[in-house]
Amino acid sequence: MASETVELDGVRWPVVDGILWHRLGRDALRARVVDLLDAGDVDGARVALFADADDWWGEPPPPSSQLAQVVSAGTLREAMDLLGYGRVGDYFAHRWSDPTYLAGLALLEQHWPGERPVVEVACGIGHFLRELHQRGVGPLVGVDVVFSKLWLAQRFVCPAARYVCADVTAGLPPLDLPGPAYVLCVDALYFLRDKPAAVAAMRALGDVLVVGHAHTPVEVHSSGEPLTLGQYADLLGADVVYDDDELTSAFLARRAPVPGARDTARAVALVSGTTSPGPDLSQPVGPVRPNPLYVDGVRTWPSPRWAEEYARATDYLPETYAPGPRSLLDLPEHW
């Protein structure tokens, strides 16, 4: 994967391991990484970008000597430990099992990208991109504001996608798409401070906007500035809305989700643009492995916080291992 600099609008931006880093408003970091690349120090450039986080993250980065080891981590979880991900590491390591992920799958099943290119904004470490790639969707572009997440996505979760590091509220660099995109954004819109700017940037990419798991003020988490259902719907010009809990139920019951949501919904999903239903995503493509939340056959939550936030997982993950909707997972080879 190339590490170089590219010039866009008269500014030199770093590309490290094939990932364009285009985070506006971080000039000192940009200049430092460009200097490191000019000096041939790709390892130093990567470590400098690994230390950069999003604005909600309050922890200091791990020491550079620790970040330098990430490149030789054998597994996704080892890499996340070295990056100091903490509870975010639990979220990503077990994303395949949480009820909001199932809601995302139900949303995709009902509103499939078809032949369109897909841009996933705030893609995290690429779980949904992996799912789409396995079902033949592409080309795929993942955008996130945190370089290390994209690096993990590329290394461990979905190497087939192209990744661009950028803050969607500050505008995106040209993504060189072959046509109007299907733009996906799951479990992230409520985080973004300037939501109108983010939605404008997403709209500029394509004709279908699919937003999953947008928290409302009914359930406020430590990070995020949620809107009400009506505010989200207006902002997105939504054609269809769903209650996220209904999407999870529909996925588990193997039926189409019932559109509509009340003001009491804790999180909602919204779609703007015309789509058709897609394939059944309940059957992993494989090869499959037993869900690692079972240790010696006994359900073992990653943390009390995870168990509390995703309490609904008890509906489909019984206390002792048994065949069920999430008992077998198609995890990345080096999970």
In DSSP terms, 55 is beta-bridged to none
Distance between CA atoms of residues 279 and 285, nearest Å: 11
Q: Is 168 in the site for ligand SAM (CB under 6 A)?
A: yes
Residue 35 zone, left/alpha/beta (φ > 0; ψ -120 to 50; rest): alpha
169 binds ligand SAM (CB under 6 A): yes
Q: How far is CA 102 from CA 85, 91, 142, 330, in A?
A: 23, 14, 20, 14
Q: How far apart are CA 68 and CA 203, in angstroms?
A: 37
Q: Is 167 in the site for ligand SAM (CB under 6 A)?
A: yes
First to last CA, the chain: 21
Nearer to ligand SAM by Cβ, of 15 and 192: the residue is 192
Among 89, 124, 206, 257, contact with ligand SAM (rule: CB under 6 A): 124
Piece of the chain touching ligand SAM by CB under 6 A; list 77-85, 141-149, 226-234, 324-332: 141-149
By CB under 6 A, is residue 95 in contact with ligand SAM? yes
Whether a cis peptide bond, with omega within 30° of 0, leads into 287 is: yes
In this chain, which of 22, 77, 149, 326 binds ligand SAM, going by CB under 6 A? 149
Cβ pair 16, 147 in contact under 8 A: yes
Least distance (Å) between residue 155 CB and ligand SAM: 15
Give how many residues touch ligand SAM by CB under 6 A. 18
Under the binding rule (CB under 6 A), the answer on residue 127 touching ligand SAM is yes
Q: Looking at 63-71, 133-141, 188-196, 287-295, which segment touches ligand SAM (CB under 6 A)?
A: 188-196
Contact 256, 281 (CB under 8 A): no
Interface residues with ligand SAM (CB under 6 A) are 54, 95, 122-124, 127, 144-146, 149, 167-169, 186-188, 191-192
